[in-house]
Amino acid sequence: MTSFLHLLKGKWYPPANPTASFAGKNVLITGSNVGLGFEAANKYVALGALRVILAVRSLEKGYQAKEEIARRNGSHVSTIIDVWKLDMDSFASVKAFAERADKELEHLDVALLNAGLVMRAFQQSPEGWEETIQVNVLSTALLGLLLLPKLRASKTKVATPHLAIVSSGLHTSVKRENIGHDGTLLKDSNSPATFNGQRQYGISKLFVMYITKELASLASSPNGEIQVIVTSLCPGFCASELGRQYNSWAETIGMWLVHSIFARTTEEGSRTLVSATTLGPEGHGKWWKNDEFPTPGELVTSDEGKKLQKSLWKEAIDVLKVSAPEVEKLAGAE
């Protein structure tokens, strides 16, 4: 009953719509052709960003999103909207994207890592990892690491860049017995024998919480100065295309009913994505949800959770350094 009331409260009391100006800022958003990412991109344009980069897997869909954002905002808007290719299924694509950002952008003020998915059935990426782990965890970690130097170099006396990563409150539902059966976290999550799509999504978002904590530690100088504000966030339960694989007639009807009663719109959810990138130093290393900093789940805050975080990070770096040797230095693991 408590969880139902929580969902109803989330629907009827959405977060505040951000009003801060993004004038002069370059903003990059992954997974921005639909859903939360698209709505966030639309808000950045409306809030006066200098340049908004739609990082998308399908250029065709990206250009369609660009046209719709331009239509919504009218001809008076001066924001430059670019569409860049990014395939989170490929470490090479992630590397190429980060290199392009470094070369073509004079400065990078906001990187919003929103791309994510939930899978109905077990499927491996071309890199050999279960898709949820590939996109939500490994490629997200790689992109965050590779963008950190550009973000750090974009800090000014009056503005600190932001790296925001979309997590989920479902990370709090992960049970210790459901991860690390064989002593590893990533490899254990890469087995079809124990795969459950909804559970795997929650696990991936727990791992995102770990990654964000590690990136936040890297984004501070030895003297404690915050060079990049790194924040994880939860947009709440939204009626998005995230669960589009659950498309049987019964599932479609059931999802419609659940969304009608409990879900926020993607516009409402996107408010949290954008507001997370307006936070000051108080948001560094924190989890942002419903315009506040709730306490993350026990597997994040407990001593055991902190050990799991270190283990996950080491495993991720060991995987990523094969395709991107530079991450070892970027992560301070050399």
Burial class of residue 182 (count of CB atoms within 10 Å of its CB; 0-12, 13-18, 19+): exposed
> Does 205 participate in catalysis according to the annotation?
yes
Selected catalytic residue, list 66, 205, 289, 321: 205
61 is catalytic: no
Residue of 43, 201, 286, 321 with catalytic role: 201
Q: Which residue numbers are catalytic?
A: 201, 205
